[in-house]
Amino acid sequence: MSRRRTTKSTANTKAPNDGTAWGHLSDADLLKQVAAELARRRVARGALDLDAIESFSEGSQQDFGQETLSATVAALGPEDSSPKPCPKCGVPVPVKTHNRVRHVLTLAGEFRLSRNYHYCRRCSAGFYPRDLELKLPAEGEVSDAMERRILDFGINDTFESSAERWSIHYRHSISSNLVRRVVDRVGVRCEAARELALQRACNPAPAEPVPALVVASDGSMLLTREDAWREAKVAVVAHLTPGRDGAPHEVSSPRFAAILGGKVEFSSAVAAALAAERADEVPLVAWLGDGAPSNWTLASELCPFAIQILDVIHALQHGNDCGKALLGEGDAALPLWAARIEQLLAASNVDLLVRELLDCLPFTTTDAHLGALDDLIGYYRTNEHRMQYRRFRELGLPIGSGIVESAHRHVLQARMKRAGQRWGLVRGRRMARLRAAYRTAGPRRFHRALREAHFVQARPPPQRPLPNGPRRVNRTYTLGRGSPINRRNASI
Ligand SMILES: [Zn+2]
């Protein structure tokens, strides 16, 4: 493998020979000459160690970028005032306002652009031909390349920490509110995109349906500002590939759906993930869940032919809870109780399991004992067909819901459940969707996928007001330690 890590120069190596002062030099030669001259001057100013060389090189890049940017914008020349074709209907429309100024933050620095505004009465829409020519984003104060980078920080870390970490990587600093605005704007785009289009953009649908899929869904609680704890639901749909030599299936290519909201929204998000995998045509679908009835309702609605599997850990846990209720916490016989349940579950012998539990009936002395036993038997009877672990193992299917528990951790908790975090509902809902798309697409594809999905089939964005970030206010009043309006708790 080559040890060379420096990227090759992309500068043009052909001289234009257009009769200008530098016309005899190609872009690459011009760059070399400027670099050599700058280096000569820097060496003349004093000794250089590696740190100084690196810092000089980085500074030159920055200066050069800034100069190139200003020169290129200046070279665009003034806009002429002739009527320009409306991007919607194509009819030329005259200028309505001259020289409207816009500031755009780019990787090379900030640039100021003054351009003409045209208004088409027929379409009742205004446009800036120069913005269209430069392909500037319609809204916002950052270029597309900046947006992609800011988003990468804001999707992985708190807005404050993102702004701080930004300054380690780049010379110009950004504010936490800019990170917040960028994430908000992209979040609106994410919410406006059709779910199926977004799933396909994040992770292209397979050309042919895969032989087997696993689906798992689960909920966990998130702290919100409006009504304390709200349930956030996560679902994962992944490919199951047969393991070698009879080993269990391997899980790969997961796609996620995450919703902070109601059942209907969650159901449609999971349906989109399934549709993207063409689940209707997949011969084997396994749906894993804990005992929550809503899971099975969802499974029956969206994937009636799926094999439903009760997470084995939950099945064991229920058995152990009953054992504790009957024998008492810390009883010496508890490990034996747990081992027997595990043995019968592994053999998929639910009938014998229930019979042995019924044999315990004469030993119950209180209502609590009877209740615990009755609950457990009911639970096992209801889920009997979901506890055929021996058959599931033979088919190579997973029987533990570790896949969705880990999804909870890396899709939601890594960003949304940090110490002291409280989410406003609007922003929390957006972040949950963004995180699912981010984890499905991966960091490299994420930003492009959102754009693609938005342009493919946009639907009108929901009209919800955007709350501003917490303002910096000078207060002299000190809040009590346990005060519910403690600002540290209130900021995201
Ligand atoms: Zn028009």
What's the CA-to-centroid distance between 450 and ligand 1, angstroms? 27
Q: In 16-28, which positions are buried (b, 16+ CB within 10 angstroms) versus exposed (e)?
A: eeeeeeeeebbbe
> Is pLDDT at 153 greater than 90 in this prediction?
yes
Beta strand pairing call for 109-120 and 95-106: antiparallel
CA of 143 to the centre of ligand 1 (A): 26
Band of the pLDDT at 106, cuts 50, 70, 90? confident
The alpha carbon of 92 and the centre of ligand 1 are apart by a number of angstroms equal to: 8
C-alpha of residue 85 to centroid of ligand 1, in Å: 8
Q: Residue 166 — pLDDT band, cuts 50, 70, 90?
A: very high
Which tokens go with 252?
């790969």
pLDDT at residue 224, rounded to an integer: 84
The conformational region for residue 408 under phi > 0 = left, psi -120 to 50 = alpha, else beta, is alpha
Q: How far is CA 254 from the centre of its chain?
A: 13
373 CA distance to ligand 1 middle (Å): 73
Higher pLDDT, 176 or 3: 176
Cα of 93 from ligand 1 centre, angstroms: 8
**Residue 90 C-alpha to ligand 1 middle, in angstroms?**
6
H-state helical runs in 303-366:
312-327, 334-346, 350-359
Average pLDDT, whole number, for the chain? 85
Burial class (CB in 10 A: 0-12, 13-18, 19+), 203: buried
Distance 435 CA to ligand 1 centre (A): 38
State in Å: Cα 142 to ligand 1 middle.
27
Residue 82 and residue 95: Cα distance in Å, rounded? 7
- Select from 208, 307, 294, 300 the least CA-distant residue to 259: 294
How far apart are the C-alpha atoms of 287 and 279, rounded to whole Å?
A: 12
In which element (H, E) is residue 107 found?
Answer: none
Q: Which residues pair with 491 in a beta bridge?
A: none
Between the CA of 120 and the centroid of ligand 1 the distance, in Å, is 5
> Ligand 1 mean position to 137 CA, how many Å?
20
Gap from CA of 91 to ligand 1 centroid (Å): 6
Q: Where are the domains of the chain?
A: 84-134, 312-394
Q: Find out whether 235 and 274 touch, Cβ atoms under 8 Å.
A: no
- pLDDT mean over 464-488: 58
**Tokens representing residue 376 in the block:** 């457990």
Confirm whether pTM is higher than 0.85: no
Distance 89 CA to ligand 1 centre (A): 4
**131 CA to middle of ligand 1, Å?**
17
**228 and 242 Cβ atoms separated by less than 8 Å:** no
Q: Which pLDDT value is given to residue 446?
A: 93
User: 125 C-alpha to center of ligand 1: Å?
Assistant: 7
Distance 87 CA to ligand 1 centre (A): 7
- Distances in Å between the Cα of 323 and the Cα atoms of 363, 370, 376, 381 are 12, 12, 10, 17
Write down the residue that tokens 């800019």 correspond to.
Answer: 178
Q: What distance in angstroms lies between residue 88's CA and the mean position of ligand 1's atoms?
A: 5
Instruction: Give yes or no for a contact between 454 and 214, defined as CB atoms under 8 angstroms apart.
Output: no
What's the CA-to-centroid distance between 19 and ligand 1, angstroms? Answer: 44
Distance 134 CA to ligand 1 centre (A): 20
Question: How many Cα atoms occupy the beta-carbon half-sphere of 278 within 13 Å?
Answer: 11
Pairing of strands 109-120, 125-127: antiparallel
CA of 83 to the centre of ligand 1 (A): 12
Tens of pLDDT, residues 288-327: 988 788 889 999 999 998 999 999 999 999 999 988 888 8
Q: How far is the CA of 452 from the centre of ligand 1 (A)?
A: 25
3-state secondary structure of 207: coil
- 229 burial type by CB count under 10 A (0-12 exposed, 13-18 middle, 19+ buried): exposed
* 318-327: long-range pairs with CB below 8 Å, 24+: 318/291, 318/376, 318/379, 318/380, 319/345, 319/376, 321/372, 321/376, 322/357, 322/372, 322/373, 322/375, 322/376, 325/368, 325/369, 325/372, 326/360, 326/363, 326/364, 326/369, 326/372, 326/373
pLDDT of residue 2: 52
